[in-house]
A and B are shown apart, each in its own frame.
Chain A
Amino acid sequence: MTADLQPLPERVVILLFGNGAIKRTNDYAWQMARRGVRVQAVVADGQGWRRAPFLHPSVEVYSLAKPENRQPLLWLYEALVERAPAAVLRRLEGRLPGAGFARRAHRKAAGFCRRNVFWKVYRPFRHQALRAIALRRLGRLDLGAADHVVCPDPAAVPLAWSIARRHPRPVVTRALHYGPYKPYPVVNPIEPWDPDAAEAPHREPYTPL
């Protein structure tokens, strides 16, 4: 059966607003890419993405980091609570007694505020804000011509739902399930992606959207 099946000319777009599904996404992307499916991903890697592993090198990744971080209230919070005090204290360090201690104390306090104030307030609105940002910028991906739009991340559901309403063609799903593609032949002998491995292939930086 496998011999009769041609490589897939399909295109899949994966939406990721959080980093919780990256490992599953990498497994899925690898399985799809080696069968000739073009895999693209839209990631909101501006906030809460610091420890996230990279996505598989076969995936074209488009980043929403800049537009997300340019949101006025978010930018203002980071400038006033984190960047400006950190910059002032860094310059004072070595010139003013106690500045080093103050810098460390500020870093801890800023971390506390980020966890307990920033995320508490921002998280409930983030997926809505990102939907608006993404919808303004997704034109270049021509989602109407994609075959699958997958959102393994629940935060990306509002965006996926809006895409489903605007574009009748793609299958819009939450399932990272490559089972139906298993019978197709492997046309790209690429390796699974372990970003922690020393010999891991180079990953191109994500393309700003």
Chain B
Amino acid sequence: MRDEAPARPRVLYLAFYFPPSRASGVFRARATANYFAEAGWDVTVARVPQWFLTDVVGSTDEGLAATVDPRIATVSPALDDFAWETDIREFGRFRGNFPFLASRWHRWRQRFKFPDRYASWGESAVEEGLRLHVERPFDLVIATGNPFSAFGAAYELWRRTGVPYIVDYRDSWTLDLFTNEDAFPKGDKAWRWERRILDNAAEALFVNEALRSWHAERYPKAAERMHVVLNGWDPDVLPEIPASTADESRPLSFAYIGTLTANQPAGAMLDGFRHMAETGRHPGARLDLYGHLGFFAKYESRMRGELGLEEEQEQVHHHGPVSKSEIGEAYAASDVLVFLVGGSKYVTSGKIFEYMATGKPIVSVHEPGSAAEELLRDYPLWFNPGALEPAAVAAAMADAGDAARKADPELAESARTYGAGFTRYRALEAFERRARTIAADRSPR
């Protein structure tokens, strides 16, 4: 039977967040699906239903959806809307009359599924996967988390069909990236599920070596099947940024380009910038913020208030979301890029690759020891304050501003050359080759 298998290997990609979602990990999912499609795979993506993006998340990026390879088929397994339904008219008689009992009943049912609030999506993804597998068998399942219900679905599909699966940790599941402690208490179901999933996975992928090592130590049986697939920048999203010198006649623009979230030390960035302005270095400099405030539309006003952006400020400008076509202009208008990331040694942030590709001076505003430092260490225009104190951040910003003014062309060129090596496709090359071998070697069940 295997001899009659079609030439194009078939992969089911379980990616809850996939364009038109604009969630943080969506570029990795998009690149993976596109790369596999271009490499000759028949790719089917299972993503979240559209109502979740429009009604719950509150925003989509249709421009990004247009960049998905047209050969990729997309399905949207159902998601139980219990937790997100706010229209009381949609509540049934039981929930309308006994909201607490209904909520308890819902939680109790969830306990028997998978320890994740998106478990119902995982369950539907298994059903959908089995239906598609009967039509034409899959050779491989790739699941990307979070949410980790995707991992559960991949495991269940393997259990029922024998199709090997690969789990891609865009984020960590049982490790809290912001405290570096366990995210679940001992004995929690999540630990058992993670062990089960990793022990049987054909491969597990991580975004940096620190995360891979942490998991390898926890799950030694699966350690040799754990690999690092770095994030990267997307040449189709980021056009070539012309090399430029910050003109002495105009004030400098310090910029953060990306979604601002509550986990990032945005306060340290603002304090550092204001401190630099007070010291008189780079008079008239502006801090330009491009992008959404929070991933969920409902948190935007809260973040705006917390960051003091409610009122017009002379030196800090929030330009709002930047479309794919405008992102190049935003980078071109910036002299110094501020790299903002929450968490510490396990957090890289995909944004750093895009920043490095521009060849502009980068100021780090994050806890010392972030995994991104490994990448930035060899970037010639990196300015690291080493701490989040306003004075340290201000000094690093001022030094980066000086570098932008001087703009040594050789240094800028070497910075750009270094950053150019980190495209997403380059990061995916080796993974795709291994995936092809796994798919070819699979034994049918």
Residues of A within 8 A of B (CB): 31, 124, 127, 149, 151, 154-155, 157-158, 160-162, 164, 171-175, 177-179, 182
Contact = CB atoms under 8 A, between A and B. Distances in A.
Interface stretch (B84-92, B168-176, B379-387): B84-92
Contacts of B297: 179
Nearest to B100: A154
B298 A161 contact: no
B161 to A, nearest CB: 40
A161 B100 contact: no
Contacts of B99: 127, 154-155, 157-158
A160 B103 contact: no
B97 interface: yes
Nearest to B298: A177
A160 B86 contact: no
B58 interface: yes
Contacts of B88: 149, 151, 157, 160-161, 164, 172-174
B86 A157 contact: no
Contacts, number: 47
A182 B300 CA distance: 12
Contacts of B444: none
A127 B98 CA distance: 9
Contact of B86 (A124, A162, A164, A174): A174
Contacts of B58: 179
B40 interface: no
A160 B97 CA distance: 10
Nearest to A161: B96
Given A179-B58, A179-B298, A158 B96 contact: yes
Given A161-B96, A161-B97, A173 B86 contact: yes
- Point out which of B96, B99, B100, B300 has the most chain A C-beta atoms below 10 A from its C-beta: B99
A157 B91 contact: yes
Contacts of B86: 173-175
Given A177-B298, A179-B298, A161 B87 contact: no
Q: Pick the 3 closest A-B CB pairs, nearest first.
A: A161-B96, A157-B99, A175-B86
A151 B300 CA distance: 21
Nearest to A31: B301
Contacts of A31: 301
Nearest to B87: A173
A116 to B, nearest CB: 19
12 contacts: A124-B100, A155-B99, A158-B98, A160-B88, A161-B96, A162-B96, A164-B88, A164-B96, A172-B89, A174-B86, A179-B300, A182-B301
Nearest to A156: B99
Given A164-B88, A174-B86, A157 B96 contact: yes
B320 to A, nearest CB: 13
A83 to B, nearest CB: 30
B89 A164 contact: yes
B97 A158 contact: yes
B16 to A, nearest CB: 23
A158 B87 CA distance: 13
Contact of A154 (B87, B89, B103, B301): B103
Given A157-B91, A161-B96, A172-B89, 15 more contacts: A31-B301, A158-B97, A160-B88, A161-B91, A164-B96, A171-B87, A172-B88, A173-B86, A175-B298, A177-B298, A179-B58, A179-B297, A179-B300, A179-B301, A182-B301
Contacts of B89: 164, 172
